[in-house]
């Protein structure tokens, strides 16, 4: 079992109080091999008390350079989808399953996801969103503890509880997959975001 980053980080004494403190602790995390190839940790961005939180897979090249999730082409599409339901990036919180860029933008390995999971757990505990949108397979499988693929689960609501806080999880396609597939995938993503907007009203 991989150790909990919040207990092994040199900043662990300050890791739990606020998002900036957790981000500072995460910035020196070396608990998996991704630490050796990163430019910087890409922790998360957005409103600390957001009602809507997005969880993606991991940072790409642009994110690794800038230190912010979803700033490349996929991020531009995510921003458009968020704006399409009457919100802005400033209204939501955006994070990833892994906080360091996998080499060549490959899929994160199971041991890397396990090592990084406590950071995401802490983000969820501190933000306490009412609705969580998982972007793609990796985030969906981690939060829902399922082996089902995103194409089967997308657009469906799932109950989720973390640290006594209840939320709704709505999986949708990763923006990168939408960019690769185009037409129908984009229509599906837009429909999922309309579902997200309705869930926010009800949650």
CB 167 within 8 A of CB 130: yes
The mean per-residue pLDDT over the stretch 59-75 comes to 96
CA pair distance 56, 115, nearest whole angstrom: 16
Structure tokens at 125: 């505990």
Provide the whole-model pTM.
Answer: 0.91
Instruction: For residue 50, give the CATH number of its domain.
Output: 3.40.470.10
Output the CA torsion 124→139→160→50 (10° steps): 40
Q: How many domains does the chain have?
A: 1
* Highest mean pLDDT of the ranges 12-16, 115-119, 161-165: 115-119
Reduced to 3 states (helix: H, G, I; strand: E, B; else coil), residue 111 is: helix
CA dihedral 121, 126, 127, 131 (to 10 degrees): 50
**Beta strand spans in 22-120 (E):** 44-46, 52-56, 93-96
pLDDT value at residue 15: 56
Cα torsion 23, 27, 65, 126 to 10°: value is: -20
User: Contact 10/17 with Cβ under 8 angstroms?
Assistant: no
Indicate whether 7 pLDDT > 70.
no
CB of 157 closer than 8 Å to CB of 140: no
- Chain segment 127-160, per-residue pLDDT in tens: 999 999 999 999 999 999 999 999 999 999 999 9
Measured at the CA of 84, the angle between CA 80 and CA 85, to 5 degrees, comes to: 130
Output the 3-class SS for 77-101.
HHHHHHHCCCCCHHHCEEEECCCCC
Q: What range does the domain containing 126 cover?
A: 5-202
Residue-wise pLDDT for 25-38, tens only, equals 999 999 999 999 99
| Interatomic CA distance for residues 20 and 130, integer angstroms | 21
The span from the CA of 113 to the CA of 122, in Å, is 14
């Amino acid at each position: 079992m991989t150790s909990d980053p919040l207990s092994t980080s040199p900043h662990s004494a300050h890791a739990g109080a606020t998002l900036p403190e957790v981000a500072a602790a995460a910035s020196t995390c070396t608990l998996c091999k991704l630490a050796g190839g990163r430019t910087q940790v890409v922790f998360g961005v957005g409103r600390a008390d957001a009602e809507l939180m997005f969880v993606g897979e991991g940072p790409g090249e642009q994110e690794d350079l800038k230190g912010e999730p979803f700033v490349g082409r996929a991020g531009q599409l995510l921003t458009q989808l968020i704006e399409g339901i009457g919100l802005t990036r400033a209204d939501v919180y955006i994070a990833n399953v892994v906080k360091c860029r996998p080499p060549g933008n490959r899929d994160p390995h199971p041991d890397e996801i396990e090592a990084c999971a406590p950071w995401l757990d802490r983000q969820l505990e501190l933000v306490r969103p009412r609705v969580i949108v998982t972007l793609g397979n990796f985030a969906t499988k981690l939060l829902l503890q399922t082996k089902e693929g995103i194409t089967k689960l997308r657009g469906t609501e799932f109950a989720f509880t973390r640290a006594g806080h209840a939320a709704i999880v709505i999986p949708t396609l990763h923006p990168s997959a939408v960019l690769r597939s185009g037409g129908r995938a984009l229509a599906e993503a837009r429909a999922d975001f309309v579902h997200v907007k309705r869930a926010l009203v009800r949650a």
